[in-house]
Structures are given as structure tokens and as C-alpha cells.
Structure 1
Amino acid sequence: MCDLVARTGRHQQRYEDGYRLVAGCVPFRCKTCEDSSSEKIVEVLLINSSSGPGLLFPKGGWENDETVEEAAVREAIEEAGVRGDLMDCLGCYEFRSKTHQDEFSPEGLCKAAMFSLFVKEELELWPEQNTRNRSWLTVSEALGSLRHAWMRDALECFCKWHEEKFAG
């Protein structure tokens, strides 16, 4: 049994100018090539969508009682079952959600702050494990598997960030 429980409901959600505020992350790890070249391969963690085909990065509503960083960390634990070091913000991305239209955002407009998360632990039990599968993919595999264009944009920003942060 998992001691962690996913937050549900919308009564604590943050909104700004008709946008629902969302926080998420690009969970990543570095693996050494198996061909003994000691070259590092970056892999990112994607999860399946609960509302249709395609893969996603963990993300969800930013609530009133937490910082945007805390929300991103919480979503990584709830949806993907991973913990690690939250690093830099990769940017903010606007999108429209068909499943999250409400009185505060009737158009379903969302604004997501996306962070990089260096994964240090994969939990055996996590709140959404019965509805989510996680998949480690190379960046090129992930670009071809992501459901939303804005998440591909976030992944491209992650690649630039990772190159600058870990070059040399």
C-alpha cells in the first residue's frame, strides 16, 4: 500500500488571467553507453496519459498552499513515482486543455512552468501507479512519442539547458 496520496479537486488551484497555473518537470538521468566508450546517454522519463494515447511529462495544477517548485516535485512523485533534485526552470508554456475546462478557465487555458528534475530515486509504490506507466526514453525517442507539441518544445529547451549545464 502506498502511503502517499495524490491530491484531487480544484478548490486549491491557482489561476491567473483566465489561465490555470500548472507545474511540471522533465525527469532525466544519465546512463553510460554499453559499448564501453563511457559516453553518457541522457534519458527522460515519460508517463502515459490518463485521457488518451501518447506520452507526457508529469505535470499538474499548482495549488495555493505550495510554491511552483513544490508543485513540480509533488507531481513527479504522484504521477511518475520519482524523486530527485529539482533544477532550473526550463520556461513557461501555454496550452489548451480539453479535460480541464472550468468556471475560472472556461476555455481550458493553462500555463505550465516546467523544470528539469535529476532523478535519484524511482519509487516502487506511488499514488498513481495503477493508472500510470513510466518509460525511460532517449531524447530522440521522446520527441517522437510526446503527445503535445508544447511538451516537445519543453524537451528541446531541456536539451539546450542540459548541453550548457553539463558541457565539458
Structure 2
Amino acid sequence: MDGSAGISRVASSNGDLNPLVARTGRHQQRYQHGYRLVAGCVPYRYRSNAVSNCTDIRQMIEVLMVTTQGGPGLLFPKGGWETDESVEEAACREAYEEAGVRGDLKGFLGTWDFKSKRQQGDCSPDGLCRAYMYALVVTEELDSWPEQYARQRQWFTATEALENCRYEWMQRVLDQCIAYLSNSNNS
């Protein structure tokens, strides 16, 4: 998990490269000890209007969040980690499919366990998920992407993003991302 993975196109289930098709289904999902394994990221960019002598990373970056497919709330791109990809590839794929961005993974933020109400009973009887989350610096924001009609994306300051996180565990992910970027920025 060196954080250098990136993908430019996503393979469809029949092996053809198709840049505008999101993977669906659970037949290639990874499970471990009753947990569905998911990968995701906190997409961020440096603000163009950030003051050059600013040292607070929260003032220097914006983070990208997406709407959920099934209701209110904002979250970071994440989804199933499949058997034919690395965790880093899965995180990049989810950023592409859900948020329409490509970028470079800059750091592994950690793992978080959560219970998914939506996925309850789907191969994991209790709906338990384990998320592997990364910081992803956005290098490209696409005009078209697989879930553009199912989700909206919006850039927020780090403070606004903390206030808008649908789930408490995602607030902890963002806190960890801010700490990681602060340490990276000061070294």
C-alpha cells in the first residue's frame, strides 16, 4: 500500500475498457471475518485563493463530497473492494465512478468499521463493513462519469465538509486526513 496507485480507465465486467460504466453487483466483492471490505478516499485540492503564508491545512484545501444514491446526506466516495484489484485501485475507481475525479493517492488514512443499513443481509448478515480510506489529491475533474446522474458532487472547505458528513465515522476519516496533510505539509 504505497499510495502511488492510479487508474485511467475502468474495466467492465466482460474485460472491455469502458470509461463510463460503473461496476455493479456483489459477485467479486471481498469479505473477511463477516465484514464486507470497501475502499474509498477523501478527494482534495489546494485552494487557488489560499494565502501563501497560511499554515493551517484546513484553510489551504477543499474536499469533494458526493450525495448518497438513496437519500439525504453527503459522503466521500467509497465502495466495494473487488477480488481483481488492489485496495488502492478500488479507492481510485470509486473516486472516478462516484465523483468523476482522478488523482494520486497520497496516504493511507486507516480502516474504519461501520454498519451499513442498505447492505444488511447482502452476504454480510449484520451489514458490517470495513473501509480502507486514503487521501487523494485531485488532478482531473471530469465532465462525464459513470454515476453523474445518480449523484451530485460539491467542493467544501474542510470545516464545511466536517459539518456536512452524513456519518460520524467519515468525520473521523476527514480528521485523520487533515492530520495527515498537516504533517506532510510541515515536513
Q: What TM-score range do you get, normalising by the shorter chain?
A: over 0.9
Map of 2:130 onto structure 1 = 111
Alignment of 1:1-168 (within 5 A): 3-33=19-49, 37-38=51-52, 39=54, 41-167=60-186
Superposed CA deviations along residues 14-50 of structure 1, whole A, max 9, x for unmatched, are 000000000000000001336xx43462100000011
Amino acid at match of 2:79: G
Superposed CA deviations along residues 121-154 of structure 1, whole A, max 9, x for unmatched, are 0010000000111110001000000000000000
| Identity fraction in percent | 55
Amino acid at match of 1:88: G
Q: Number of residues paired by the alignment?
A: 165
Superposed CA deviations along residues 76-109 of structure 1, whole A, max 9, x for unmatched, are 0000000010121100000000111235311100
Structure 1 unaligned blocks of 5 or more: none
Q: 1:103 to 1:148 in 2, by over 3 A?
A: closer
Q: TM-score, normalised by structure 2?
A: 0.84
**Equivalent residue of 1:129, what SS?**
coil
**Equivalent residue of 2:176, what SS?**
helix
Q: 1:160 to 1:107 in 2, by over 3 A?
A: same
**Equivalent residue of 1:32, what SS?**
coil
